[in-house]
Each structure stands twice: as structure tokens, then as C-alpha cells.
């Protein structure tokens, strides 16, 4: 494995980071007291918020299993990859497609450091430290070009990521920037905070206040980000409803209705 690139974000133990707060919600140890403090604020608004991180991580596994299995994809561009945890993209993909090529992109320096350690033995996987809001720069990165063949279908993953882009950061343009670079048969995999009601709006306020990011968009706003691509069944749905591997209650809990996910195919 290789890793390279400069990062625009320095490790600051006094300032919460998205990846470390997410790690804390998942019960990981790669976070600082300042991140745990944000979690406490979020829990004060939404007591089971940790479960939302777990639901997101679960659909990531199911989605990659679909992409590597049924869709047969052998290349993965995982944008906003996060700190390594259980069932990382390369592990799931390579269990079904041995030798699958995986590029992790994140702008948090801790992700680069931990990814480097995890991937020492993996020749087909790289971690690139870059700001994903600039698709042209990411796509031109030598490690990306060396690892991904842009003549062959690619799984473009923006899982738990697009809601961290503010409206004025043009999330639709970011999606298109990557999808325009990949051929027909490529897939887009997203999960996104959604505005499912009053509780979602209160949670959004809390994210904005304590982390500075976390847009809860409506279904229509989210569908607008992935317009032009063919939704794979069951479409854009709440996380537990996307190709579940266990029984899903008819009436979902508030937490289960805070995020949606979808996979779509480029025609």
C-alpha cells in the first residue's frame, strides 16, 4: 500500500473533527475528549445517536457486498473514508473480489496515519490525503491514477459524507465531478442525514452548533444530488430498509429515520 499527499487539516486535539466524533459514536478509541464532548451534546438532543453511526456502518458493509457481489465491481473510490474500523471497504470488497483495487480519500491526517498502519500488507489499496470537494485534484492524484483504471467501472462511495458539505459547497457538483470521470456501469453509493421531521431538525441544529456541519436534507434534495443515475432496488430508503439482512420493523424508530441510503448505476 502507499499513501501520499498533503493535508489541509492538521491534528488539533482541542478542536473536534468529523472522523473522530464518528469514531467516538462507533465506540472507537481514536478520539480526544473534545470529540467525546460533542457526542455528549448530540446525545443530549438525540439520546441514541450512537446507534445512527452503527446503522451507517452496517449499510456500508451491505452496500459494498452488493457492489462487489451482484454488481461485480473491482474498483472502489471511497471518498470521506473515515478512520479504519470493522468491515472496512477493502476488506469487504476483497473478500468477494480478491485483488479489488481500493482508494480511500480523506482530509483528516489521523485517517492517513491509521490507514497507513492498517494497509501495510495490502498492495491494491491506497490512502490519499485530499479534500474531496475538489474532484479534479483528487482524480489527478498519482496514487488515484495508478490504482484506478478509469476505462473500467468504478464504485464511487460518498457514504456518510455529503451531509458534511454545506449547500454553498455544491454537493451535486462534487458528485458529478466524480461520476463524469467514470464509465457506464459505474455505481454511486451514498448515505445521507435526512429531514424526516421535527427530531431530525433538532438534531441538525445540534450538529451545526457543536460540529459546524451536518445538513439534514429532504428526500427531494438528496434525490437531486443523484439525479441522472438509475437507482438500484429498493431505491432511496431509510438505512435499515436497504437490502436488510435481518427483520425490519414496520414502524421505524426516530433514530432509524435520521438517515437514508441508496446505490445508483451510471447508465
Ligand X SMILES: C[S@@+](CC[C@H](N)C(=O)[O-])C[C@H]1O[C@@H](n2cnc3c(N)ncnc32)[C@H](O)[C@@H]1O
Q: Which stretch binds ligand X (CB under 6 A): 35-43, 62-70, 160-168, 236-244?
A: 160-168
Kindly state the smallest distance separating residue 213's Cβ from ligand X, in Å. Answer: 8
Residue 51 interacts with ligand X (CB under 6 A): yes or no: no
Q: Which is nearer to ligand X, 83 or 232 (CB)?
A: 83
Q: Is 261 in the site for ligand X (CB under 6 A)?
A: no
Instruction: Tell me the window of 43-51, 54-62, 64-72, 241-249 that interacts with ligand X (CB under 6 A).
Output: 54-62
131 binds ligand X (CB under 6 A): yes
Strands 125-129 and 2-4: parallel
CA-to-CA distance for 144 and 141, rounded, in angstroms? 5
Q: Which of residues 79-108 bind ligand X (CB under 6 A)?
A: 80-82, 105-108
* Residues near ligand X (CB under 6 A), total: 21
Q: Which residues, 6 or more positions from 108, have their beta carbon under 8 angstroms from its beta carbon? A: 7, 9, 17, 18, 19, 20, 83
By DSSP bridging, strand 125-129 and strand 230-231 are unpaired
Is residue 30 part of the contact set for ligand X (CB under 6 A)? no
Place of cell 496515519: 113
Cα radius of gyration rounded to whole Å, the chain: 17
CA-CA-CA-CA dihedral for 128, 214, 27, 259, to nearest 10: -100
Terminal-residue alpha carbon distance, the chain: 32
Strand partners, 125: 102
Among 132, 226, 236, 263, binds ligand X (CB under 6 A): 132
Q: Phi and psi (nearest 5°) for 193?
A: -60, 140
Residue 262's nearest CA partner among 175, 191, 169 is 191
Residue nearest to ligand X (CB): 82
Residue 229's closest CA among 177, 184, 164?
184
Residue among 32, 52, 56, 75 that touches ligand X (CB under 6 A): 56
- Out of 160, 171, 214, 261, the only residue in the binding site for ligand X (CB under 6 A) is 160
Residues 188-217 that bind ligand X (CB under 6 A): none
**In the complex, which residues of this chain contact ligand X (CB under 6 A)?**
18-19, 22, 56-57, 60, 80-82, 105-108, 111, 131-133, 159-161, 164
Amino acid at each position: 500500500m502507499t499513501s501520499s499527499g498533503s493535508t489541509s487539516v492538521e491534528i488539533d486535539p482541542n478542536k473536534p473533527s468529523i472522523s473522530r466524533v464518528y469514531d467516538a459514536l462507533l465506540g472507537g478509541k481514536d478520539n480526544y475528549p473534545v470529540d467525546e464532548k460533542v457526542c455528549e451534546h448530540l446525545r443530549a438532543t438525540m439520546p441514541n445517536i450512537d446507534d445512527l453511526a452503527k446503522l451507517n456502518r452496517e449499510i456500508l458493509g451491505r452496500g459494498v457486498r452488493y457492489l462487489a457481489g451482484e454488481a461485480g465491481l473491482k474498483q472502489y473510490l471511497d471518498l470521506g473514508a473515515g478512520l479504519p474500523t470493522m468491515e472496512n471497504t477493502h476488506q469487504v470488497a476483497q473478500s468477494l473480489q480478491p485483488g479489488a483495487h481500493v482508494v480511500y480519500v480523506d482530509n483528516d491526517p489521523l485517517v492517513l496515519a491509521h490507514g497507513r498502519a492498517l494497509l501495510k500488507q495490502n498492495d491494491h489499496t491506497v490512502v490519499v490525503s485530499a479534500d474531496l470537494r475538489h474532484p479534479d485534484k483528487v482524480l489527478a492524484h498519482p496514487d488515484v491514477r495508478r490504482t484506478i483504471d478509469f476505462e473500467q467501472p468504478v464504485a464511487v462511495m460518498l457514504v456518510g459524507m455529503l451531509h458534511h458539505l454545506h449547500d454553498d459547497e455544491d454537493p451535486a457538483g462534487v458528485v458529478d465531478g466524480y461520476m463524469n470521470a467514470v464509465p457506464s456501469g459505474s455505481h454511486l453509493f451514498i448515505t445521507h442525514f435526512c429531514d424526516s421531521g421535527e427530531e431530525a431538525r433538532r438534531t441538525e441544529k445540534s450538529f451545526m452548533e457543536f460540529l459546524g456541519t451536518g445538513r439534514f436534507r429532504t428526500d427531494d434534495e438528496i434525490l437531486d444530488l443523484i439525479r441522472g443515475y438509475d437507482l438500484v432496488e429498493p431505491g432511496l430508503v431509510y438505512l435499515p430498509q436497504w437490502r436488510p439482512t435481518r427483520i425490519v420493523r414496520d414502524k421505524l424508530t426516530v433514530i432509524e429515520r435520521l438517515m437514508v441510503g441508496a446505490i445508483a448505476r451510471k447508465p
